[in-house]
Amino acid sequence: MANKRDYYEVLGVQKGASEAELKKAYRKMAVKYHPDQNPGDKEAEEKFKEVNEAYEVLSNPEKRAQYDQFGHAAFEQGGMGGGGFYGGGFEGFDMGDLGDIFGSMFGFGGGGSARRNGPRRGRDINVSIQLTFEEAIFGCTKEISVPVLDECEICHGTGAKPGTHAESCSKCNGTGQERFVQQSMFGAVTSVRTCSACHGTGKIIKEPCTTCRGTGRVKKTKKYEVKIPQGIDNGQTIRLGGKGELGENGGGYGDLLVSVYVQPNRVFVRKGNDIYCDVPITFVQAALGGEITIKTIDGEQKYTIKPGTQPDTVVTLRGVGVPNLRNPKIRGNQIVTLKVKIPTSMTERQKDLLRQFYGDAPAGAANTEASAPEEEKKSFGEKVRDFFEKDK
Ligand SMILES: [Zn+2]
Ligand SMILES: [Zn+2]
């Protein structure tokens, strides 16, 4: 610091130069000595640093006044906030003004659009749980364990060793970002990047907390009781606000997203809020009608089959389907397909009775149904009834 040149001399301006004159001079010098314009030129690099340093001081009215009064001594021996600002030479620069100049000069946004690496909300955590068919329909409570990054209890999330605290980053003056100028075909362009000293946090932790290594966050397994609402369906997700990962730099917690996987049921198939199932009936029940028992999610229900019921007749049982997720009082239906079962073994007497019922019907009569379906369908029940009445 002994042979520092006068800042006004560095910029080539008079001592009483106006702000505009300073800017103009600085711009000229910065472009001239920019490292991109002078690759590998150590002298230019030094000049560039010198120019930046001079402008940094002279463009700040307060610093300029101090400099005018005390010269370089104003900023030595820790005179300016512990000397951190100049300790690193060029490293210590706030390039803010440079950005403003080039931003306005070339119509670029001076870094205003750059993302600042400040407080950042924690990540959302995705977990999936398995439910039985019934659990999804009627709701339940599930306990889940989730590994998340959470606040370090030792340093309370500050990342600093207990008894110490984080200091404002001197490289970026706590802004978390550094600006730099690059030459492009459009001229000098200011870019902004995350401060390499503090990684965008704006803070420097001198003595990191040993438990979290200065990150302020530790991996924990958290247990949550998740209330599963009735009517939830396969593939749906429950969002638990603020139960996710802790953010960085004071950002809040993310959410916990619990995706639901519903195990298939052997009897029921769910489509929306309706439940589908097949119910087997005998061909005699189909023909004569009668009372059967149908299993629903509420228990068994009696149902009376009409005589002459055709195979795959669909029956709707109202209001015994899945409760609506938003209004559980509203429920879907159960859609039942009656499956007529043909016996695979019969006694001789049963066979005889059937032969009598069909009378002289030719072999393979069933195949004629396609050509005369109406006649066959209409008369089937009647034929069966006739057959049994005849038998009495
Ligand atoms: Zn800690
Ligand atoms: Zn920084």
DSSP of 301-360, one letter per residue? EEEEEPTTPPTTEEEEETT-SPBPSS-TTSB--EEEEEEEEPPS---HHHHHHHHHHHTT
Please give the distance, rounded to the nearest whole angstrom, from the Cα atom of residue 14 to the centre of ligand 2: 33
Full pLDDT tens readout for the chain, 392 residues:
446 788 888 888 888 888 888 888 888 888 888 877 788 888 888 888 888 888 888 888 888 888 887 777 766 643 333 333 333 333 333 334 343 333 333 333 333 333 455 678 899 999 999 999 999 999 999 999 999 999 999 999 889 999 998 899 999 888 888 888 877 777 888 888 888 888 888 888 889 999 999 888 999 999 999 999 999 999 999 999 999 999 887 788 999 999 999 999 999 999 999 999 999 999 999 999 999 999 999 999 999 999 999 999 999 999 999 999 999 999 999 999 999 999 999 999 999 998 898 875 555 555 544 444 444 444 555 655 555 554 44
CB atoms within 10 A of CB 218: 19
Tell me how far apart the terminal alpha carbons of the chain are, to the nearest angstrom. 125
Please give the distance, rounded to the nearest whole angstrom, from the Cα atom of residue 204 to the centre of ligand 2: 7
Please give the distance, rounded to the nearest whole angstrom, from the Cα atom of residue 160 to the centre of ligand 1: 7
pTM score, whole prediction:
0.55
Please give the distance, rounded to the nearest whole angstrom, from the Cα atom of residue 152 to the centre of ligand 2: 22
For position 372, what pLDDT does the model report?
A: 46
| b/e 260-298 (16+ beta carbons within 10 angstroms → b) | bebeebeebebeebbbbbebebebebbbbbbebebebbe
Report which bound ligand comes closest to the CA of 159.
1
Please give the distance, rounded to the nearest whole angstrom, from the Cα atom of residue 135 to the centre of ligand 2: 52
Please give the distance, rounded to the nearest whole angstrom, from the Cα atom of residue 162 to the centre of ligand 1: 8
For position 369, what pLDDT does the model report?
A: 47
Please give the distance, rounded to the nearest whole angstrom, from the Cα atom of residue 206 to the centre of ligand 2: 13
Report which bound ligand comes closest to the CA of 155.
1
For position 190, what pLDDT does the model report?
A: 82
CB atoms within 10 A of CB 133: 20
Report which bound ligand comes closest to the CA of 218.
1
Report which bound ligand comes closest to the CA of 162.
1
For position 87, what pLDDT does the model report?
A: 30
- Which strands, in side-by-side order, build the sheet including 237-240? 125-131, 256-262, 237-240
Please give the distance, rounded to the nearest whole angstrom, from the Cα atom of residue 152 to the centre of ligand 1: 5
Judge whether 119 and 247 are in contact, CB under 8 Å. yes
Contacts of residue 202, defined as CB under 8 A and 6 or more positions apart, other chains included, come to 118, 168, 169, 172, 174, 175, 176, 195, 249
